[in-house]
């Protein structure tokens, strides 16, 4: 039974059958046992591999060589002398006293081995069953095992390198057969085949979008715009109002095809059967094709907003009131142009000067001429100005080279006021005598002083002209300091630049020329209302001088070609500049050197500009186009808020005479009324 | 600091290349480039700054995006083009050697076949993308389906286009996806909604298309090539989406006989089904949906008992029942105040259910003068199951054979008039045309009693309105109501022909009209004796002019008085001033201020003065006959004019404060708006005229 079982063991398959995940049988193979015992056992398992060298070479090392795997074979521990002595005393069985060179261990031999050794040394047979002369086993030689040497030195034959003649013959046979038509190389495609193929390809046989994946839109992808849907006018039977009348039809037919807004004429057909074919159909579709592949595309964002929302918000007109709207009074009397005008500080009268050399004073409310004086026969009055302050009534007028100081008589000036005025005018005569600077020229002649203060002729004195300042240049503008003691005149002449700007002291009858050299041609000047600053406008620049420190503080660059006038806001932080090149410039002195706003609403040169002096947020300008424009200009003391400028009103009325329109404009000191002097010889009062 | 950049090496200069550069880069000929661009959907661009893009001094016109061209470099079609070129060389060589059979063989065997499938997938990554771009494709294919075959357009292409378009129409009929349609002078517009995408296309009327000399059919053929591939894939997807086999079976014989839509047999994926009407009713309904429908029917039945059964009675009843198909349907919101904002509502035909029920209950017969194909298509798409037509229009409809069939409910005719058969019913005005129409067979020119005769427009108007229209308005011989486009959305301020004139005209216009009416009334009074002299309608302009004259007359009288008064005190300077004021061109008006009030005041003063003077002279004042109505109108006009002027001034003032660029933009917008307003005003004016004329004609009659 046992052998049977053994047989069973050997035949038993080296696997087990299990079921896998799918329920199918699965073979799990066991480990294969390699039976190494059957192999050659000559080679010892743990042999030293140092070869045929003495073991003493390794005396210096802790190992004695290497095994087959390259690992060091450790030297066996050598016992102490005592141990070896003990060993020698107690010699174990099989002790030889030798060392096995392969392992380095004491070589122990068994009794049989010793016996064999003994026999060998005695040249005896080592054992009983030993056959010293066994039969030779002829593995490779002998009968039937003669082997020819497989290697040969013969060179490669040529046939290895040329095409096979045999194959060639066979191919040629086939070629011949093909040529003769015995063999068909492929089935010829018949027309039927071709048609079938085409039919198969003609219609889709699969779903292209079977596994579609959306692609995010790329900004450079511009899909073609769709054609707009048809409107009412394209109907075959549109409402009658969509049909073109005769003129429209003619106009459409006359138009070039490309200019037409619509590529067809609306037509009415009373029934569907009457609708003809559309002749342009193919052409239209063709043009659409051309557009699709030929027209450059661009993405354009369409603005679909109410245009009203673009307009800026402006203050309500009712908030902006009052402002002058109509011409209430026209003052006629001047011969020729009226060059200048000025409201008196009380606001009851207007003084004006014109080409006829007269200064006239008008009653503001009625327009009646209250007073007048003729200052010169041939020279025009270039500027008039009232001395500021309610206590006096002094009018200055620049006529030719003279500056006249006038105290108008009559109802204009109550006696006490007149007395005070005379006092002020006469106060300087004592001073004037003493410091006359008698400078002399190189030639020794007394240089005539730049200014002389004197009494005018008696006729003039009788008319109220009590003092005359004679300059050697013609002053064109005059402006008072707020205290009424100083005033500045500007004579824009090119000959004497150093004397162009003069600052006069009324109480001392003194004149100074602060600018020895002035860049540019001086045009006009004014004083700052609160600070000791002096604004001087040359042709293109405006310089601001500090009068205390006597230095240039700022130079504004309005960008105008030729400044005609300036006006300073009563608060002193904003300056208006008018220019002959049709521009009106608003300078915010806190903001910078360039204008805050540039207004261009006049078609002709602007002659003059004026802020309302009494605190109303108004200003007006006078232009050669014969109109005045009134603006709302609100200045807030808060630095962070910009001024708001709103155009209010165009005042028309002055006639344009020889291309000159309105020459001067002035405001009532308190009310929203203004007056303008025109080249047509009138002074108009607007309220 | 880095290296100084060379000009033209980055940015826009690199992003765009000119067409010649592109052609050179691709190494193909210009026609090939064109084809490639059409297939691949590559188009020129408009660079933001042309100057910066072009490197040469001569201005180039066409720029392509460089990446587009780079992307073309890898196109497999390029190789096909090269193959074609090589083949052309081979053939020409063979022909040069006089080897004709070789050339023929080469052409037959080597011609490369262009497949555009991959391009479809590239250009339209999703199905919806493809649907979005279907407008042009359908218009083009419908055009080609209606073209005669010529040398440039081989019959194969035409047949293919016909087949694809018919397949597409079949899909629309099956799913009731057609939404709107419009008869225009160019052709018939259709709009369908598939997967939420609105597709609008135009089908020409069946006439021989005129092809001018300046139409290049090669370009169109390239487009058609691409579009046929696209539509074929779309049809496949659509058909398989609703469980039909694609391509549908085409009955060649019935197609030859002109069956058109009827030649196709749709098969669902399981079993075959014919496209005959009866079977179509059953098919396409799955059991589940049917059960659901039955359940719903059972629920709603007790309510239905009160209503008459649909389909048999008059169409007016039909309308009411159609109007409220279920409680879930949307109600219509009509704004009561015309000035209020109108919200957009989805139209009634917006869903397939209502669209599929519109003509469901009816049987139509198409007379032979009506366009058969569009009518058949649109009727079937809106739910009609039974459409028949005369045999002369092609293979008779599978449903009814002859005109006399009793179950026909509607007959669509397009003739001047058809008399009723019985003598008392005829109005005796049978036109001579009818005689011409009824030349052959029996009493063809008489109506068959028991059915509704309508003109074709009834179908279109019913479809667009989403409910059946009154058939008497569309009776044969009747003057049709205007056919309106369903796509025009009424916008505020624009002219809307559906509303009455009074609802949309501005105040000024209304008043002008009143004036005109009165004038005409006066005229009528004046001219009553000499009879009617007005040949047309007096235009607004004339009326206004006339009125102006009248006003001026009044003014003159007043002013004369004033002059007399003023001449003594004032010199002529004042007059000159006045002239000046008037003559000065208005650059900026400023505020109007209180001038008008002043004017009124002065006028009042003047009249008072005149009275005083007259009294002094011992005359009685010739007071103008005070017409209170007229005065009131004038006052209203003046008030309006003043308000307008003030508004204008305000706008001007605000405009002045805008920066120039913004102002320009504003002006442009205002200009375009003004143009629209002007157009609307013109239309209103025309309508007013027409209405007047109609009233007058009516009055005369």
| B219/A289 CB distance under 8 A | yes
Rounded to a whole number of angstroms, the distance from the CA of B274 to the nearest CA of chain A is 21
Answer whether the bond into residue B247 is a cis peptide, omega within 30°: yes
Q: What is the pLDDT of residue B35?
A: 93
**The pLDDT of residue B533 is above 50:** no
Asked if residue B619 belongs to a domain, the reply is no
**The pLDDT of residue B190 is above 90:** yes
* Same domain membership, residue B509 and residue B458: no
Asked if residue B169 belongs to a domain, the reply is yes
Domain-terminating residue out of B76, B109, B142:
B109
Q: What is the pLDDT of residue B658?
A: 77
Residues of chain B with Cβ-Cβ distance to A212 below 8 Å are 125-127
| A296/B43 CB distance under 8 A | yes
* Same domain membership, residue B144 and residue B71: no
3-state secondary structure A669-684: CCCCCEEEEECCCEEE
Strand-pairing partners, residue B304, are none
Q: What is the CATH number of domain A322-431+449-686?
A: 2.130.10.10
Q: Nearest by CB to B186, from A238, A278, A288: name it.
A: A278
Q: Chain B residue with minimal CA distance to A316?
A: B650
Q: What is the mean pLDDT of residues A426-441?
A: 56
Handedness of CA A450, A451, A456, A461 (dihedral sign): positive
Helix or strand holding residue A26 (H, E):
strand A25-29
Q: What is the pLDDT of residue B120?
A: 93
Highest mean pLDDT among A376-390, A632-646, B526-540 belongs to A376-390
Q: What is the pLDDT of residue B1?
A: 64
**The pLDDT of residue A30 is above 90:** no
**The pLDDT of residue B202 is above 80:** yes
Least confident of B82-86, B158-162, B365-369, B446-450: B446-450
Closest CA to A648 of A328, A329, A326, A325: A325
Asked if residue B243 belongs to a domain, the reply is yes
* Same domain membership, residue B129 and residue B91: no
Q: Chain A residue with minimal CA distance to B159?
A: A202
Asked if residue B351 belongs to a domain, the reply is no
Domain-terminating residue out of B246, B267, B288:
B267
Residues of chain A with Cβ-Cβ distance to B455 below 8 Å are 271-272
- Cα dist. B438→B402, B425, B442 in Å? 16, 19, 8
**The pLDDT of residue B346 is above 80:** no
Q: Chain B residue with minimal CA distance to A230?
A: B485
Question: By percentage, how much of chain A surpasses pLDDT 90?
Answer: 6
pTM of the shown model: 0.57
* Same domain membership, residue B214 and residue B135: yes
| A647/B113 CB distance under 8 A | no
Domain-terminating residue out of B86, B109, B132:
B109
Residues of chain A with Cβ-Cβ distance to B117 below 8 Å are 208
Q: Does A167 touch chain B (CB under 8 A)?
A: no
Residues of chain B with Cβ-Cβ distance to A241 below 8 Å are 495, 497, 683-684, 686-687, 690
* Same domain membership, residue B101 and residue B148: no
Least confident of A194-198, A361-365, B157-161, B625-629: B625-629
**The pLDDT of residue A138 is above 80:** no
**The pLDDT of residue B171 is above 70:** yes
**The pLDDT of residue A323 is above 90:** no
Least confident of A666-670, B561-565, B640-644: B561-565
Q: What is the pLDDT of residue B168?
A: 94
Which parts of A414-517 fold into alpha helices (H)?
415-426, 429-433, 458-462
Coil, helix or strand at residue A211: coil
Instruction: Return residues 573-632 of A near B (CB < 8 Å).
Output: 601, 603, 626-627, 629-630
Asked if residue B221 belongs to a domain, the reply is yes
pLDDT tens digits along B422-435: 554 344 444 444 44
**The pLDDT of residue A46 is above 80:** no
Radius of gyration of chain A from Cα atoms? 64
Coil, helix or strand at residue A75: coil
| B657/A655 CB distance under 8 A | no
Q: What is the pLDDT of residue B276?
A: 42
Q: What is the mean pLDDT of residues B89-111?
A: 91
* Same domain membership, residue B517 and residue B661: yes
Asked if residue B453 belongs to a domain, the reply is yes
Residues A394, A505: Cα–Cα separation, whole Å: 15
Residue A104 DSSP code = -
Confidence class of residue B82 from pLDDT cuts 50, 70 and 90? Answer: very high
**The pLDDT of residue B315 is above 70:** no
Instruction: Return residues 137-166 of A near B (CB < 8 Å).
Output: none
Q: Chain A residue with minimal CA distance to B40?
A: A293
| B121/A277 CB distance under 8 A | no
* Same domain membership, residue B251 and residue B184: yes
* Same domain membership, residue B135 and residue B92: no
| A230/B120 CB distance under 8 A | no
Residues B203, A578: Cα–Cα separation, whole Å: 69
Rounded to a whole number of angstroms, the distance from the CA of B673 to the nearest CA of chain A is 9
Q: Does A314 touch chain B (CB under 8 A)?
A: yes
Rounded to a whole number of angstroms, the distance from the CA of B621 to the nearest CA of chain A is 31
Q: What is the pLDDT of residue B321?
A: 38
Q: Does A249 touch chain B (CB under 8 A)?
A: no
Residues B423, B428: Cα–Cα separation, whole Å: 9
Residues of chain B with Cβ-Cβ distance to A686 below 8 Å are none
**The pLDDT of residue B546 is above 60:** no
**The pLDDT of residue B181 is above 90:** yes
Residues B675, A142: Cα–Cα separation, whole Å: 122
Q: Chain B residue with minimal CA distance to A309?
A: B666
Per-domain residue ranges of chain A = 27-125, 322-431+449-686
Whether the CB-CB separation of B64 and B44 falls below 8 Å is answered with yes
| B124/A647 CB distance under 8 A | no
Is the complex ipTM more than 0.90? Answer: no
Confidence class of residue B64 from pLDDT cuts 50, 70 and 90? Answer: very high
Least confident of A305-314, A421-430, B52-61, B415-424: B415-424
| A214/B219 CB distance under 8 A | no
- Residues 6+ away with beta carbon under 8 Å from A454: A467, A468, A470
| A273/B369 CB distance under 8 A | yes
Handedness of CA B634, B635, B636, B642 (dihedral sign): positive
Mutation target to probe the A interface, by most A beta carbons within 10 A, among B117, B119, B185 is: B185
Strand-pairing partners, residue A470, are A402, A452
Asked if residue B10 belongs to a domain, the reply is no
| A230/B38 CB distance under 8 A | no
Rounded to a whole number of angstroms, the distance from the CA of B277 to the nearest CA of chain A is 26
Residues of chain A with Cβ-Cβ distance to B204 below 8 Å are 277-278, 281
Q: Nearest by CB to B125, from A213, A237, A326: name it.
A: A213
Mean pLDDT over the full length of chain B:
74
Q: What is the pLDDT of residue B551?
A: 45
**The pLDDT of residue A583 is above 80:** yes
Higher confidence at residue A373 or residue B276?
A373
Q: What is the pLDDT of residue A172?
A: 95
Residues of chain B with Cβ-Cβ distance to A202 below 8 Å are 160, 232
Q: How many domains does chain B have?
A: 4
Q: What is the pLDDT of residue B679?
A: 86
Helix or strand holding residue B417 (H, E):
none
Residues B178, B358: Cα–Cα separation, whole Å: 12
Closest CA to B448 of B405, B401, B478, B386: B405
Instruction: Return residues 428-447 of A near B (CB < 8 Å).
Output: none
Which parts of B391-473 fold into alpha helices (H)?
432-437, 456-465
* Same domain membership, residue B95 and residue B129: no
Q: What is the pLDDT of residue B526?
A: 53
Higher confidence at residue A203 or residue B241?
B241
Q: What is the pLDDT of residue B278?
A: 40
Q: What is the mean pLDDT of residues A132-137?
A: 85
* Same domain membership, residue B247 and residue B160: yes
Residues B403, B453: Cα–Cα separation, whole Å: 12
Tell me the backbone φ, ψ of residue B611, rounded to 5 degrees.
-60, -45
Q: What is the pLDDT of residue B591?
A: 45
pLDDT tens digits along B581-608: 343 333 444 444 444 444 555 566 666 7
**The pLDDT of residue B96 is above 90:** yes
* Same domain membership, residue B376 and residue B251: no
Closest CA to A558 of A522, A521, A584: A584
Q: Nearest by CB to A241, from B414, B487, B683: name it.
A: B683
| A230/B487 CB distance under 8 A | yes
Residue span of the structural domain in which B100 resides:
16-109
* Same domain membership, residue B215 and residue B263: yes
Strand-pairing partners, residue A25, are A19
Highest mean pLDDT among A263-267, B48-52, B57-61 belongs to A263-267
**The pLDDT of residue A531 is above 90:** no
Highest mean pLDDT among B19-28, B211-220, B600-609 belongs to B19-28
3-state secondary structure B657-680: CCCHHHHHHHHHHHHHHHHHHHHH
């Amino acid at each position: 039974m046992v052998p049977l079982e053994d047989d069973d063991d050997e035949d038993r398959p080296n696997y087990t059958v299990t079921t896998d995940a799918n329920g199918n049988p699965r073979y799990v193979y066991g480990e294969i046992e390699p039976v190494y015992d059957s192999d050659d056992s000559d080679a010892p398992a743990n042999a030293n591999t140092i070869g045929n060298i003495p073991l003493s070479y390794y005396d210096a090392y802790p190992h004695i060589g290497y095994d087959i795997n390259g690992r060091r074979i450790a030297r066996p521990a050598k016992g102490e002398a005592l141990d070896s002595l003990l060993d020698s005393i107690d010699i174990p069985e099989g002790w030889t006293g030798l060392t096995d060179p392969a392992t380095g261990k004491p070589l122990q031999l068994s009794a049989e081995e010793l016996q064999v050794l003994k026999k060998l040394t005695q040249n005896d047979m080592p054992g009983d069953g030993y056959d010293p002369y066994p039969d030779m086993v002829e593995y490779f030689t002998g009968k039937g095992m003669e082997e020819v040497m497989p290697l040969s030195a013969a060179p490669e034959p040529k046939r290895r390198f040329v095409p096979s003649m045999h194959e060639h013959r066979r191919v040629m046979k086939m070629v011949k057969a093909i040529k003769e038509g015995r063999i068909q190389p492929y089935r010829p495609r018949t027309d039927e085949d071709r048609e079938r193929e085409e039919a198969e390809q003609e219609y889709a046989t699969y779903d292209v979008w079977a596994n579609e994946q959306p692609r995010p839109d790329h900004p450079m992808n511009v899909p073609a715009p769709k054609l707009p849907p048809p409107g009412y006018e394209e109907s075959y039977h549109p409402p009658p109002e969509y049909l073109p009348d005769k003129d429209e039809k003619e106009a459409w037919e006359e138009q070039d095809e490309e200019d037409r807004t619509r590529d067809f004429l609306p037509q009415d057909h009373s029934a569907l059967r009457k609708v003809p074919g559309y002749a342009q159909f193919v052409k239209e579709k063709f043009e659409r094709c051309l557009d699709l592949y030929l027209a450059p595309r661009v993405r354009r964002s369409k603005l679909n907003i109410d245009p009203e929302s673009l307009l800026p918000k402006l203050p309500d007109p009712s908030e902006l009131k009052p402002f002058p709207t109509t011409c209430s009074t026209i003052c006629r009397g001047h011969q020729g142009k009226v060059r200048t005008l000025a409201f008196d500080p009380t606001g009851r009268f207007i003084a004006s000067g014109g080409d006829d050399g007269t200064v006239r004073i008008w009653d503001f409310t009625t327009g009646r001429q209250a007073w007048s004086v003729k200052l010169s026969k041939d020279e025009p009055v270039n500027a008039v100005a009232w001395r500021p302050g309610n206590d006096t009534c002094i009018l200055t007028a620049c006529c030719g080279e003279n500056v006249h100081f006038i105290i108008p008589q009559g109802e204009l000036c109550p006696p006490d006021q007149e007395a005070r005025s005379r006092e002020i005018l006469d106060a300087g005569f004592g001073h004037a005598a003493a410091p006359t600077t008698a400078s002399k020229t190189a030639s020794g002649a007394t240089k005539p002083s730049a200014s002389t203060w004197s009494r005018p002729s008696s006729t003039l004195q009788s008319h109220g002209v009590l003092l005359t300042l004679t300059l050697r240049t013609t002053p064109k503008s005059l402006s008072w300091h707020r205290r009424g003691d100083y005033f500045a005149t500007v004579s824009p002449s090119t000959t004497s630049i150093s004397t162009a700007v003069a600052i006069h002291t009324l109480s001392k009858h003194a004149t100074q020329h602060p600018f020895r050299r002035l860049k540019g041609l001086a045009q006009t000047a004014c004083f700052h209302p609160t600070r000791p600053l002096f604004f001087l406008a040359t042709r293109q620049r405006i310089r601001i001088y500090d009068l205390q420190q006597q230095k240039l503080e700022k130079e504004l660059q309005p960008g105008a070609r030729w400044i005609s006038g300036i006006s300073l806001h009563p608060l002193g932080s904003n300056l208006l500049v008018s220019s002959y090149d049709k521009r009106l410039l608003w300078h915010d002195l806190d903001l910078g050197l360039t204008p805050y706003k540039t207004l261009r609403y006049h078609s002709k040169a602007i002659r003059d500009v004026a802020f309302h002096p009494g605190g109303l947020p108004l200003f007006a300008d006078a232009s050669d186009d014969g109109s005045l424009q009134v603006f709302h200009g609100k200045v807030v003391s808060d630095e962070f808020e910009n001024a708001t400028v709103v155009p209010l009103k165009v005042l028309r009325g002055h006639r344009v005479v020889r291309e000159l329109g309105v020459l001067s404009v002035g405001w009532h000191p308190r009310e929203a009324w203004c007056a303008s002097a025109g080249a047509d010889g009138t002074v108009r009062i607007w309220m | 600091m880095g290296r100084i950049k060379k000009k033209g090496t980055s940015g826009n200069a690199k992003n765009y290349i000119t067409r010649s550069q592109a052609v050179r880069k691709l190494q193909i000929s210009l026609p090939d480039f064109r084809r490639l661009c059409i297939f691949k959907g590559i188009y020129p661009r408009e660079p933001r700054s042309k100057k910066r893009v072009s490197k040469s001094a001569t201005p180039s016109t066409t720029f392509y995006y460089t990446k587009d061209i780079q992307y073309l470099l890898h196109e497999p079609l390029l190789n096909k083009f090269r193959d074609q070129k090589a083949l052309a060389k081979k053939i020409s060589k063979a022909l040069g050697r006089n080897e004709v059979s070789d050339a023929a063989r080469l052409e037959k065997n080597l011609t490369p076949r262009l497949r555009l499938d991959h391009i479809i997938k590239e250009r339209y990554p999703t199905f919806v993308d493809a649907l979005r771009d279907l407008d042009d494709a359908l218009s083009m294919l419908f055009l080609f389906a209606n073209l005669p075959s010529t040398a440039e357009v081989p019959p194969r292409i035409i047949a293919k286009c016909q087949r694809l378009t018919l397949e597409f129409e079949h899909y629309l009929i099956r799913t009731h996806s057609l939404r709107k349609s419009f008869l225009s002078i160019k052709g018939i517009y259709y709009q369908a909604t598939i997967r939420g995408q609105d597709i609008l296309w135009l089908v020409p009327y069946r006439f021989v298309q005129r092809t001018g000399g300046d139409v290049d059919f090669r370009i169109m053929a390239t487009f058609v090539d691409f579009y046929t591939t696209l539509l074929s894939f779309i049809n496949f997807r659509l058909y398989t989406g609703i469980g039909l086999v694609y391509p549908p079976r085409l009955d060649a014989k019935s197609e030859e006989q002109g069956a058109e839509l009827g030649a196709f047999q749709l098969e669902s994926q399981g079993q075959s089904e014919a496209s005959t009407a009866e079977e179509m009713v059953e098919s396409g309904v799955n059991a589940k949906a049917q059960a659901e429908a039955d359940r719903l029917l059972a629920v709603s039945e007790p309510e239905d008992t009160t209503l008459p059964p649909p389909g048999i009675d008059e169409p007016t009843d039909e309308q009411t029942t159609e109007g409220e198909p279920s409680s879930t349907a949307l109600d219509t919101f009509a704004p009561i105040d015309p000035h209020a904002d109108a919200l957009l509502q989805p139209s009634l035909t917006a869903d397939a259910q209502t669209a599929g029920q519109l003509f469901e209950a009816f049987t139509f017969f198409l007379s032979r003068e009506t366009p058969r194909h569009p009518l058949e298509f649109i009727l079937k798409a809106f739910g009609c199951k039974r459409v028949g037509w005369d045999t002369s229009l092609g293979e008779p409809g599978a449903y009814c054979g002859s005109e006399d069939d009793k179950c026909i409910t509607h007959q669509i005719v397009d003739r001047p008039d058809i008399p009723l058969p019985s003598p008392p019913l005829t109005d005796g005005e049978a036109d001579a045309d009818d005689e011409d129409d009824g030349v052959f067979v029996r009493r063809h020119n008489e109506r068959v009693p028991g059915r509704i005769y309508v003109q074709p427009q009834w179908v279109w108007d019913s479809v667009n309105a989403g409910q059946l229209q009154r058939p008497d308005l569309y009776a044969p011989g009747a003057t049709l109501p205007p056919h309106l486009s369903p796509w025009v959305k009424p916008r505020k301020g624009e002219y809307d022909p559906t509303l009455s004139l009074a609802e949309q005209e501005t105040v000024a216009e209304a008043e002008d009209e009143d004036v005109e009416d009165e004038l005409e009334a006066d005229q009528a009074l004046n001219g009553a004796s000499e009879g009617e002299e007005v040949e047309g309608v007096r235009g607004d302009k004339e009326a206004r002019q006339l009125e102006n004259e009248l006003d001026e007359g009044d003014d003159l009288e007043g002013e004369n008085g004033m002059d007399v008064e003023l001449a003594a005190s004032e010199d002529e300077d004042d007059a000159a001033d006045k002239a000046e004021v008037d003559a000065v061109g208005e650059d900026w008006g400023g505020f109007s201020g209180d001038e008008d009030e002043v004017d009124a005041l002065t006028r009042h003063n003047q009249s008072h003065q005149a009275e005083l003077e007259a009294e002094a002279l011992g005359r009685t004042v010739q007071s103008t006959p005070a017409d209170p109505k007229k005065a009131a109108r004038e006052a209203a006009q003046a008030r309006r004019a003043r308000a307008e002027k003030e508004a204008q001034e305000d706008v001007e003032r605000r405009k002045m404060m805008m920066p120039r660029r913004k102002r320009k933009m504003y002006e442009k917008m205002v200009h375009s708006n003004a143009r629209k307003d002007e157009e609307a005003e013109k239309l209103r004016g025309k309508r007013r005229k027409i209405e007047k004329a109609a009233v007058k004609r009516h009055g005369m009659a």
